[in-house]
Structure 1
Amino acid sequence: MRTFVSALLGLLALVVASGGLVSAWLDENLVEESGFIALAAPLGDDADFQAALAESLAQEVTANTELPEQLGSFVEPLVRDAAGAVTRSSGYPAAWAETLRLSHAVTFAQAPDPSESAPAVLTLDLGPVVGLVADSVGAGLGVDIPIPEDTTVEVGSLARGGLLHGIADVVQDWRLYLAGAAVLALLALVIARRRGTTLALLGLGVVGIGVLGILAGDWVPDAATRAPGTGAVADVFIRGLAQRAGADIADSSVPVVVGGLVAVLVGVIGQLAVGRGRRA
Structure 2
Amino acid sequence: MRSFLAFVFGVLVVVAALVTVPTLWVSQHVANEDGFVEFAEPIVRDHDFHGTLANGLSDTLVEQTRLPSAAQPVAKAAILRVANRLAGEPGFVTAWNDTQRQSHKFMLGDARDLPPELASGPTFAIDLAPLGAFVIDEANENLPFTIGAPDQAVIVVDGAPQEQTLDRIRQTPTYARNGLIVLAVSVVLALAFARRKSMAIAWLGLGAILTAGLLKVAAVVGVPEVLDRNTAPSPFAKALIDAYVERANASVGHWLLLLAIGGGVAAVTGFALSLFSGAKRRASTDS
CA contact (8 A) 2:158 2:231 kept: yes
Paired position in structure 1 for 2:52: 52
How far apart are 1:127 and its partner, in Å? Answer: 0.8
- Which runs of structure 2 are paired with 1:217-256 in the superposition (5 Å)? 218-219=220-221, 221-226=223-228, 227-256=230-259
Residues in 1 aligned to 2:207 and 2:27: alpha-carbon distance in whole angstroms:
23
CA contact (8 A) 2:26 2:169 kept: no
CA contact (8 A) 2:26 2:172 kept: no
How far apart are 1:61 and its partner, in Å? Answer: 3.5
CA contact (8 A) 2:6 2:190 kept: yes
Of residues 261, 265, 268, the one that matches 2:264 is 261
Residues in 1 aligned to 2:278 and 2:50: alpha-carbon distance in whole angstroms:
64
C-alpha RMSD over aligned residues:
3.1
Range with bigger deviation, 202-211 or 261-270: 261-270
CA contact (8 A) 1:60 1:148 kept: no
How far apart are 1:142 and its partner, in Å? Answer: 5.3
Paired position in structure 2 for 1:193: 195
Identity of aligned residues (%): 27
Shift in alpha-carbon separation, 1:163–1:191, aligned structure 2, 3 A: same
Equivalent residue pairs, number: 274
Shift in alpha-carbon separation, 1:274–1:59, aligned structure 2, 3 A: closer
Of residues 103, 117, 121, the one that matches 1:118 is 121
Paired position in structure 1 for 2:116: none
Q: TM-score, normalised by structure 2?
A: 0.79
Shift in alpha-carbon separation, 1:261–1:59, aligned structure 2, 3 A: closer
- CA-to-aligned-CA distance 1:179-235 (integer Å, 9 cap, x gap): 431221221222233444333222211111122344455445423421223212222
Code of the residue aligned with 1:184 in structure 2: it is S
Q: Does 1:88 align with 2:88?
A: no
Code of the residue aligned with 1:211 in structure 2: it is G
Code of the residue aligned with 1:145 in structure 2: it is I
Q: TM-score, normalised by structure 1?
A: 0.81
Residues in 1 aligned to 2:277 and 2:64: alpha-carbon distance in whole angstroms:
78
- Which runs of structure 2 are paired with 1:12-91 in the superposition (5 Å)? 12-68=12-68, 72-89=69-86, 91=91
- CA-to-aligned-CA distance 1:158-196 (integer Å, 9 cap, x gap): 543464244333335635533431221221222233444
Unaligned runs of 5+ in 2: 114-118
Secondary structure class of the residue paired with 1:123: strand
Q: Does 1:154 align with 2:151?
A: no
Secondary structure class of the residue paired with 2:70: helix
Unaligned runs of 5+ in 1: none
Residues in 1 aligned to 2:63 and 2:258: alpha-carbon distance in whole angstroms:
51
Shift in alpha-carbon separation, 1:199–1:139, aligned structure 2, 3 A: closer
